[in-house]
Amino acid sequence: MADVRTRIAPAPSGSLHVGNARTALFNWLFARRRGGRFVLRVEDTDPSRARDEYVAGVMDVLRWLGLDWDEGPDLGGPHGPYRQSERFDRHRAAAERLLAAGAAYRCYCTAEDLEGRRKEALAAGRTPGYDGRCRALSQPARAGFEAEGRPAMVRFAVPDGETAFVDLVHGEARVEHTQIEDFAILRSNGLPLYTLAAAVDDLEMRITHVIRGDDLFAATPKQILLYRALGAGEVPVFGHVPLIVGADRRPLSKRHGDVSVEWYRDHGFLPEAMVNYLALLGWSPGDGVTERFTRDELVAAFDMAGVTRHPAAFDREKLTALNGEKIRALEDPDLAARVEPFLVSAGVLAGDPTGEQRAMLARAVPSIRERLARLDEAPAQLEFLFHDVSPDEKASAAIARAGTILGDGLAVLEAVASWEAEALQEALQDWADRAGIKRKDAFQPIRAAVTGRLVSPPLFESLELLGREVALARVRRAAP
């Protein structure tokens, strides 16, 4: 077989679903592991649903995941164009070749005809499906339909026999052609259906491996029949990966919550975590092998032999835990740079933060690293450093319960000579122990006064970051 060429072919009708992202990842890993090429092809055969903003959104998400493509709508390439809507003439030409060769025929059945026969089949206990009526039309009958201007779709004439193929996940498969109806390949308006468009484009783009979801397994014999009828010397190798399901073991969908990758990106998940987690949905590196990978390590480890046949359960809690691990592994400057857009989006920082603000952020990120499961949690934890916050409801209640404790704590803070976390910790702990106050009860109202919340970065680091004057002013304002 020629050099490996895989593709991802999303339909631009919405945001990229985590299942499609996992499929893209497997194709990307397969190509990168073998030194092949990864192709992005936009399958916009349905103009009523395709939107340019969706195309841009899909490309943005793939870039965010780090799944770079070698050929595509933006890059071009030797086998373009890479949008199916720009290839309709090729699809229609292919249909004409099939008609000329007798491998396809025009079908004049109306939607009402087809629905009536479907109901008849169900009533008689037969499996509904196209009965091949127009395949046997006489020439006079065809001429009559043409004369009256009746619209006609094009159907593929399924030959006798069987189709056999070896799937990279399922192994050998054989399908008797008696199980396949003469399927439509070109609508009466001249637009191609997916099966024809995908087959034509796969051949012209020299795709060698098609890795896709299990839900398309049943369509594979049809595509192989088309490949061969169109003159393919060697058809692509297929690998059907397990579907992603929710906790109820049903295919993942909006009823399980947010399923678009864009949502996870916008809510503070790292691409490193998303890629690592998606790779493990339906693939295993083997017993005793770590399941924590960088992108380069995944390329080195990935093999289709490790893909299971069983549905893979998507667990947001596990993804969130892994995301926290990846956050803690970031270097401080990297973490600060990734947190900054979320602070801007939340209004904690302006669109173009000052050098002083960035310096404060750089000093603050070590104190929140262990407390972040998602980057979008950072604004709530760091707002007190950039704005004069007021205590929220829970913080106000803690201050009210404190009585004289807050005033006593203020006196201790005012006496601290060196405004550094270690010295502040020593002074406050000594005071609480001598006064017989539980440390939590002593520190909580001070935290509430300076950060406005009961959950914040560590108290002593927060006091140091705020600085003596600002911190003392907030405690004085809250003290009775």
Model pLDDT for residues 126-142, shown as the tens digit of each residue? 888 898 899 999 999 99
C-alpha to C-alpha distance for 168 and 238, rounded to whole angstroms: 6
Query: 459 Cβ partners below 8 Å, 6+ apart?
Result: 428, 443, 446, 447, 450
In the chain, how many H helices and how many E strands? 20, 11
Q: Which residues contact 397 (CB under 8 A, 6 or more apart)?
A: none
326 is catalytic: no
Q: In what order do the strands lie in the sheet with 104-107?
A: 104-107, 153-156, 184-186
Residues of the chain with CATH 1.10.8.70: 331-379
Contacts 24+ apart (CB under 8 A), 245-251: 245/311, 245/312, 245/313, 245/314, 246/313, 246/314, 247/313, 247/315, 249/311, 249/313, 251/215
Select which of 254, 318, 326, 394 is catalytic.
Answer: 254
Residue 231 makes CB contacts below 8 A (sequence gap 6+) with none
Q: Where are the alpha helices (DSSP H) in 42-102?
A: 52-65, 88-100
Amino acid, single-letter form, for residue 211: I
- What Cα–Cα distance (Å) separates residue 171 from each residue in 25, 164, 219, 240? 21, 11, 16, 10
CATH number at 331-379: 1.10.8.70
184 vs 106: CA distance, rounded Å: 9
- Taking the chain (480 residues) in runs of 10, the rounded mean pLDDT of each run is 88 88 98 97 84 91 97 96 95 98 96 88 85 92 93 97 97 96 96 95 97 96 97 95 89 74 96 97 86 94 95 94 97 98 96 95 96 97 95 95 94 96 97 96 96 95 97 94
What residue ranges of the chain are covered by domains with CATH 3.40.50.620? 1-73+242-329, 88-241
Q: 45 and 77 in contact (C-beta within 8 Å)?
A: no
- Residue 285 CA to residue 293 CA, distance in Å, equals 10
Task: Look at residue 257 in the predicted model and tell me its pLDDT.
Answer: 64
Q: Where in the chain is the domain with CATH 1.10.10.350?
A: 388-480
CATH 3.40.50.620 applies to domain 88-241: yes
SS3 of residue 353 by DSSP = coil
The total number of residues written for the chain in this structure? 480
Which residues pair with residue 156 across a beta bridge? 104
Q: Which CATH number fits domain 388-480: 1.10.10.350, 3.40.50.300, 3.40.710.10, 2.60.40.290?
A: 1.10.10.350
459 vs 108, 222, 328, 419, CA distance in Å? 77, 65, 20, 13
- Prediction pTM value: 0.92
How far is it, in rounded angstroms, from Cα 193 to Cα 50? 14
Contact assessment for residue 105 and residue 155, using Cβ atoms and an 8 Å cutoff: yes
**Are the beta carbons of 42 and 73 closer than 8 angstroms?**
yes
Quote the CA–CA distance of 227 and 247 in Å, as a whole number. Answer: 38
Q: What is the pLDDT of residue 12?
A: 84
Please tell me the predicted confidence (pLDDT) of residue 118.
Answer: 85
What share of residues in the chain are helix, strand, coil (percent, to 5)? 55, 10, 35
Burial label for 76, CB within 10 Å (0-12, 13-18, 19+), is exposed
Please provide the DSSP assignment of 209-266 as one string.
EEEEEGGGGGGHHHHHHHHHHTT-SSPPEEEEEPPEE-TTSSBP-GGGS--BHHHHHH
Assign domain 1-73+242-329 to its CATH superfamily: HUPs (3.40.50.620)
